[in-house]
Amino acid sequence: MKFIDEAKIHVIAGNGGNGVASFRREKYIPRGGPDGGDGGRGGSIFAIADRNINTLIDYRYARIHRARNGQNGQGSDRYGKSAEDIVLRMPVGTLIKEIDTDRILADLVCDQQKVLLAKGGAGGIGNLHFKSSTNRAPRQFTFGELGQELELKLELKVLADVGLLGMPNAGKSTLIRAVSAARPKVADYPFTTLEPNLGVIRVDHNRSFVMADIPGLIEGAAEGVGLGHRFLKHLTRTRVLLHIVDMAPLSEVVDPVHEAQALIKELQKYDESLYQKPRWLVLNKTDMFPAEIRDEHCQQFIDKLGWQGPVFKISALTGEGCKTLTYAIMDYLDQHQLEIDPPEEQSSMSANTPPC
C-alpha cells in the first residue's frame, strides 16, 4: 500500500430538522391543541484512532465527508429522526488541524481515541412546547441549527521511541534490519528508502521499543534538495535520535565530518525542538577498518566533529556492536519514561477518549 502521511478533507455535519406547527384534528374534538413535534438532530462527524491503519491514503482520494440532516418534525406529536453519525478511522499518530485558523483539533496518540470534528445541528422545536395557559394555540416553532463545516488538514507523525538520522547510504535501513524483524529495502545507491519504516526491537521478553527509519537527509534539504525535510516530522515524537555516520563512504572525496556537520545544520534549520532532542552518535561500517587502527580512526573523527555526547561503534552488516547499542537504548528509555506533550490547543469537542 502506498504510504501517504498528509491529506486535506472537508467535513460537513448534518443540519438539524425543523420543528413544526401543527394542531390536533379529530372528529368531535374541535380544539385539540398543538401537536407539532421537534426536528431530529443532524449527524456529527467523529475521528477515531485505529492501530490497524498505517496510512492516510483513504483520505487522499475521498476528501468530502458529509453527514445526513435530521428529519423535520411532524404532527400528532411525532418527532423527526436523528441522523446517524459518521466515524472516520485514522492511524494512531494523526494530527488534525483546522486549515483556516491552524488550530489543532486533536492529536490521536492512543488507539481507539475518539474526538468530535464537526458537530451536527440541533433539531428545531415544535409548537407542542410553546403551549401555555395563556397561549393555547401557539403557532411558534423553530428551525433546526446548521451543522458545522470545516476544512481540515491531516498530518501523520509515526509513533516511535527512537529515530534514525543520517545521510543516504549511512546504513540506517541495514541497522533496523539487523536489530528487528523489519525488512526495508537495502541497496548500494542513495535514497533507497523512500518512506518511513518502523521496527520493533525486542531486548528481553517484556522489554521492547520502536525504531523509525526515514529517508536520508542531505545538505541543502531546507531548499528542497533530495527529499527535503518532508519526513523529518516523523521524528518529532521520538525520545532519542541516533545520528548514523558512514565511516567508510564509497567515494574518497566524501568527508564524513563535513557530512555529519551538514546534517546537524539541516536538523536545526527544520525545527529547534527536534535539534534539542537527545542525540547519540553511531559510527557505522567500522568493520571496514583493520582492528588495530579502528579505535584511533574513530577517535580522530570524534575530535574533528567536536562531539560531546554518547558514541557507539557498530557494523550494521555484521551485527557487531548492535546488541550493546540496543541495550543502552532500552536502559535509557526505562530511565526516561514517555511523556506526551498535549497539543497547544486541545479541542473542546473531544469525546470518549480512553487513557493511553
143's CB contacts (< 8 A; 6+ apart) are: 18, 19, 39, 124
Same domain, 254 and 270: yes
Domain boundary among 106, 129, 156: 156
Asked whether residue 347 carries a pLDDT value surpassing 50, the answer given is no
Is residue 43 domain-resident? yes
Three-class SS of 273-328: HHHCCCEEEEEECHHHCCHHHHHHHHHHHHHHHCCCCCEEECECCCCECHHHHHHH
Q: How is residue 21 written as a grid cell? A: 406547527
Give the pLDDT confidence of 201-212 residue by residue, as tens digits: 888 878 888 888
Q: What is the pLDDT of residue 188?
A: 55
Rounded mean pLDDT, 332-355: 55
Q: Whole domain around residue 59: which residue ranges?
A: 6-156
Q: What is the pLDDT of residue 55?
A: 85
Going by pLDDT thresholds of 50, 70 and 90, the confidence category of residue 219 is low
Q: What is the pLDDT of residue 73?
A: 94
Give the pLDDT confidence of 312-339 residue by residue, as tens digits: 999 988 889 999 999 999 999 888 874 4
Same domain, 167 and 149: no
User: Which contiguous run of DSSP H or E holds residue 153?
Assistant: strand 149-156
Same domain, 90 and 132: yes
Asked whether residue 344 carries a pLDDT value surpassing 50, the answer given is no
Q: What is the pLDDT of residue 193?
A: 57
Same domain, 180 and 141: no
Domain count of the chain? 2
Is residue 189 domain-resident? yes
Cα(57)–Cα(309) distance, rounded to whole angstroms?
39
Q: What is the pLDDT of residue 235?
A: 81
Q: What is the pLDDT of residue 231?
A: 72
The model's pTM: 0.73
Alpha carbon 187 to chain centroid, angstroms? 29
Same domain, 241 and 294: yes
Is residue 317 domain-resident? yes
Lowest mean pLDDT among 8-17, 20-29, 181-190, 202-211: 181-190
Going by pLDDT thresholds of 50, 70 and 90, the confidence category of residue 133 is confident
Rounded mean pLDDT, 187-207: 71
Same domain, 137 and 178: no
Q: Domain with 107 in it: what CATH number?
A: 2.70.210.12
Q: Domain with 312 in it: what CATH number?
A: 3.40.50.300
Give the pLDDT confidence of 153-166 residue by residue, as tens digits: 998 888 788 988 88
Is residue 351 domain-resident? no
Report yes or no: 164 and 176 within 8 Å, Cβ to Cβ. Answer: yes
Contacts 24+ apart (CB under 8 A), 264-271: 265/219, 266/217, 266/218, 266/219, 266/220, 266/221, 266/222, 266/229, 267/165, 267/217, 267/232, 269/222, 269/229, 270/221, 270/222, 270/229, 270/232, 271/232, 271/236
Rounded mean pLDDT, 64-69: 96
Asked whether residue 2 carries a pLDDT value surpassing 70, the answer given is no
Rounded mean pLDDT, 162-175: 85
Return mean pLDDT, the chain. Answer: 84
Is residue 62 domain-resident? yes
Rounded mean pLDDT, 77-83: 94
Same domain, 58 and 112: yes
Domain boundary among 122, 156, 190: 156
